Structures are given as structure tokens and as C-alpha cells.
Structure 1
Amino acid sequence: MTDKFSQEAAQQRIYQAFATLVSGDENTIDLAQAALLIASIAYPDLDPVPSLSYLDALARRVKQLHSQISSTTSEQSNPLELIGSLNHVLFEDEHFHGNESDYYNPNNSFLNKVLEEQTGLPITLSLLYMEVGKRAGIPLEGIGFPYHFMVRYTWTDGKIYIDPFARGLLLNETECLERIQQKTHHRGPLQQHWLEPVTPKQMLVRILNNLKSVYIRHADFTHALAISDLLLLLLPEAGVEQRDRGLLHLELKHYGRAMHDLHTYLELHPKASDRYEIRNHIKQIRQTIAQLN
């Protein structure tokens, strides 16, 4: 019982820290800190300091390399030299790469494990790329393409897209569309809203949704539930997430909590296409509770 209570207390500390981190001005959200709090769900004893120090050290190396390159050329510094320095440190020196062989491993979504193992998902490698870039003075934006996440660098003469999952591959808009078409079989024009930078909260939601899907895929409903709780801290009015959490509670036989969440979903979405299915779940929960009593 002591272990159970200590685990619950640790989770509550994580939730409170995460809620505090994401409750202020969205533009000031520290993505690295938030990502490490997410990782704490799986690694409750995680010390964030080594990971944050590693990001700082990587950024110092990027700045040092760029300074060396700039000092050896008499020409005006090319902004893309910054990206070249960042790519060299992360992909040539440190060998970060996309994890194609074990894509659905939960560790791909945890920043601490991405830093340890030099591999991850498109979005976690993009977060790493952005966080090192920020520390090195390189402003970068996350771009949430369908089924793939990339980074954009904008300067006075144009924009370039970077795919950290592909070891920093540089692309223009046309090449981005071709890449999306290969992954999704989309044959229409490039949708302009795909090119809008995602907000920090949107990026965290996408990381959490990926992770929740992986846990459900592995039938790890306890960790999926913990991730769903974090999602609802970011999206408190999201009825669909309320429904999903209710179904996870149901899988874990938390009948009272399941019924509460499913009722809330129907109140928020009374015309939902799955309302009859959800009502049936509620009916079955009531019957189960009655039998237990």
C-alpha cells in the first residue's frame, strides 16, 4: 500500500508541476521542462538537470562551431551556416536519428531517453532540435504536417524546412509536399494551414496523443490514463479526451470515475455520433456497480 500511495503522490506532484508550467503565457512555456515532466510519468525518479545540462552543452558546441566557421571566411555570414552548425553537432557528431526500427517504443516520446539513445520520433527530435537551437540563438518554429513533424527556419531571404527525423534534411515547400504525399498518399495541393507554426501547447498535445496511442497499442492502460490526465490539463474542455479517459478508467475497472467522465462527454457533446455506444457503456457500468454492492 505504501508503494501505491507513494506512486500516487509522485504522480500528483508531476501533475501539479505540469499544470503550473502550462498555465501561464503560452509563449513562455519551457518545452524541455514540459517534455521532461511527461517523461516523469514513466520515470518518476527522473532528475531533469542532466538532460537540461546536455541541451546547454550541445548549444555551446553549436555556437563554438559557428564561430569557427565564421572566422575562417571573409564573406558575410550566411544565416544557413547556423543551421549547418546545428546539423553538424546533432547529426554528424552526436548521431541523432529517427527510430524507424522501433517506432512505437514509448521511449521515443521521452526527451531524456531521446538524449540518452540519440533516437526518437519526428516530434521529439524536432523538440530537441528547437531547444538546442533556442539555446544557440537560432529561432526555430515547429511545423505540424500531417503524420510528420518538421522545423522551420526563417530569415530575411526566405524559409527552409528541416526534418530532424531524417538527420536534418533541408527542404523547400514543394519538397515538403512531396514528402507528405509519400507518407499519406495525399494528392491534393499543399494546405496552407499545414505551414502555420504550432504553439507550444499544440506541440505538447501532439506528443501526448502519440504517447497515449502507443500505450493503448501496448494495452498499458495505467500509463495511458496518466497521459490522458496530462492532456486534460492542456485541454480541459476537450470532450473527446474526457470520453477517452472514461474508457481508460473503464478498462481499469474504475467504474465511478469512468461513469463521471462518460457523463461529462455526453453533456459536452449531446449529439455525438457515438452517444448510443457511450450510453450503453454507462448502463453496463451501473449494472456492474449494482452487482458489486
Structure 2
Amino acid sequence: MFFKMRKYIPLLGLLLIMSSCSEYQKVLKNEDVKAKLELAQKYYDEGDFRRSNRLFEQVAPKYIGKPQGERIMFFFANTYFERGDFNMAGYQFERFVKSYPKSEKVPQASFLGAKSYYKLSPLYSLDQTDTDKALVKLQTFINMYPDSEYYDEANKMAKELTTKKEKKAFEIAKQFNKLGHFDYSFLTPSMAAFDNFISDFPGSIYREEALYLKFESATQYALNSFARWKPERLKNAKTAYNVLKKQYPDTKFAEDANKLLSKIDEELQHPTFNEERETR
């Protein structure tokens, strides 16, 4: 008997799916707003965010200004988030916060809106517009809701995005430094990029390396300068070395840094400058 019944189980499942689809299509096409809302809530509770989203989209405008509107608009925004449509989720959560600023759901909506932009943040090597927007949203949430249950997660995401921004800025500066080995005109933007990085990210994990590479760029810039500019630039490079050693007395770049320093001291003590070596 069991084996006879078992062959009908797939058929029963198919009939249930067809019945569900039929119900969805029927409610979707009719004008009964209450029926749409009930089915939207049913699908939402079941985790079917695709169909609940479509139904909430239809009923949400009908409940603007009504008591149910707040709940519907929050659920509507969250269906986008659960589906992974983070552009729309961020937009809809922002709308919710603006429409219902006194709602008890505002902290959660603010967090989920910020998290939506966090999800849109690309690899560090790409344009970081979405990362900047996410950081602003996360920092606003952190400042406004320090007692929120989402506070720690928001801090963690903000730290991750800040590290990504650091990586982006650091890699740009490093690229100028590398190019400067072949074309001395890149050494000026290299030093400027490292200065900006050190100023913008004082607690960065890349700070020690940035200080060393700034010194390296400054040294190469000085050594390849016209004679009349070389003494001042050598002294500037030596200052960069002193900054590195002061902040990192046991720097892991000590061996390479000391070799460069020896070249600087040698030039300063025996200034045989070649005016035909040009820097830009």
C-alpha cells in the first residue's frame, strides 16, 4: 500500500504548487486590496519574498496615511533586502524612515538601509562611491543608536569598509611609487599620495609601510634632482627617514631604509651633482 501511495506524492506536490500559483495569479489580477494584503503577508511569513514583494508593491500605495501603512511599507522594503535587491532596499528603507520618523522600526530600518549600501560596496580596486555612501549611513546609525542591538554589527561593517578605503588609497600611492622607478615625474604625486594617506588614515595597518615608501620616493626624487635642488631635497628625504624611525623604532623596513639613508649621507657629504639628471 505504501509503495502505491508513494508514486502519487510527486503528483500531489505538483498539484499544490499549481494551486498556489493559481491563487497568486488570481489575487494579483483582481482589485481586492484586502485579499492582496493577506496573501502578501502569508507569502512574507513563509519566506516567499518574490511574490510578497509583488503584492506589497500593489497594495502599499493604497495604505499611505492609514494605520497599516507603516507595517506594509517596512515589509515591502525588507522584501527587497531579503531578495538581494540592495539598491531598491536602500531606497525603500530611506523612504520608510522619512515617512515614519517616529516609528519604533526606524532604528532597524536605518540599519538595514545602511547594510544595503554595505552590500553594494565593490572590490577595493573599483569605484568606491557606494562604499562612501555606506560609511555615511553606517556612521549616522552608529551615532544615533549607540544602544541598538545592531550597533556591534554596524561598527564591524564600518571598520571593514574603512579598511577597504585604506587599501584603495594605499594601492594608488604604491602604484605612483612603482611608476617612479621608471619615470621620476611620478615621484611627486607618489609623495603627495602617501602624505594624504598618512593624514587620512592615521590608524591604518598600512601606516608603517606608507611611511617607508614615502621615504623611498623622497630619496629617489632627491637623488635624481638637478644639483641646485638636490641638497634641500636630500634633507627632506632624511626628514622622512626620521619620521619613520621615530614612529617605528624597530621598523621591519630598517635594513632597506638604512641603505637609502647611507646614499643620502654620502651625497650630502660629497655633493658631486650631475646637472644633466633631471626630475620633473
Q: Higher relative contact order at CA 8 Å, sep ≥6: structure 1 or structure 2?
A: 1
Q: What TM-score range do you get, normalising by the shorter chain?
A: 0.3 to 0.5
Q: Which has the higher helix share?
A: 2
Which entry has the higher C-alpha Rg, 1 or 2? 2
| TM-score (norm: length of structure 2) | 0.40
Q: Which has the higher strand share?
A: 1
| TM-score (norm: length of structure 1) | 0.38
